[in-house]
Amino acid sequence: MENIIRQQKTITALPFSENLKGEWNQFVKHKAINSTFLHSRMFYDHNPLNAKEDASLIFYIENKIIAVFPAVLYENDGVLTLHSNLRATYGGIVVSKDVNAEIAVDLIELIILFAQEKKVKQILVRNSFRIFHTDLCDEIDYALWLHGFEIKSRELEIAIPIWGDNKIIKSRYHDNTTRNVRKALKSVEVIISDDFKAYWVLLEKCLLERHGKRPAHDIDSIMKLREHLSNEANYHDIEATF
């Protein structure tokens, strides 16, 4: 891929390969400011279709990773699409603090050049939710707009902080919530369980009854993901971080 020169620095975009897996995961875990576990190769690789259609990119400046772009390349109804990310809640351009506005503009240009080389008809980008960001990073949004990207849809981001003083948290409950919590504490026991199958039966039942939907993943794929993670040497460290 063509390199872009900006302020005497060269941005190099490389297609992902298995020998770059460790670098990718380390960047997502330690350097990125808008990443979550869903951007790790451990999550990405649990779905075999991702490996088949993988079109992910890694961006470097002077041999230092500054961004990664998890993506798949697929054709639907004759339209070749570069999508970040089709089989996850979000994907997007994952960046470090080293990415400023000018670099962000160049990153998007490199992605567009890559798409043009592949004869892609459309690029779909689902950036990670801002509630998970560890620092401000709106440069990518600006760069996408500058290159002519348009908003296809909006999603509402809601987070419930569960840290801090329990009394303060409870003071913010609505009256109905307070009553329901008191009622539940008299009869409901909450425990950590490995009985995924029993949970999945309940999950499928509730989704079908309330929303007419099924889970995005089936129990087999979730069990494979869990097995894959448990085989990783740093599994517990990763679990705690994400």
pLDDT per residue as tens digits for the range 99-140: 999 999 999 999 999 999 999 999 999 999 988 899 988 999
Instruction: Give dist(CA 222, CA 233) in Å, integer.
Output: 19
Q: Could you tell me the CA-to-CA distances from 219 to 84, 175, 202 in Å, in that order?
A: 24, 37, 12
CA dihedral 220, 225, 230, 235 (to 10 degrees): -160
Listed as ranges, residues in the chain with pLDDT below 50 are 7-8, 233-242
Q: Does 76 sit behind a cis peptide bond, omega within 30 degrees of 0 on the bond before it?
A: no
For residue 194, the model assigns a pLDDT of 87
Place of tokens 């040497």: 233
Global pTM? 0.80
pLDDT given at position 212: 94
Name the residue type at position 63. N
Helix, strand or coil for residue 100? coil
Tokens (6 digits) for 7:
């302020």
Question: Tokens 């875990």 label which residue?
Answer: 29
Q: What is the pLDDT of residue 135?
A: 93
- Looking at residue 79, the DSSP 8-state letter turns out to be E
Mean pLDDT over each residue of the chain, to the nearest integer: 87
pLDDT of residue 32: 97
Omega prior to 234 cis, within 30 of 0: no
Provide the CA 97 distance to its chain's centre, in angstroms. Answer: 18
Report CA Rg, the chain. 21
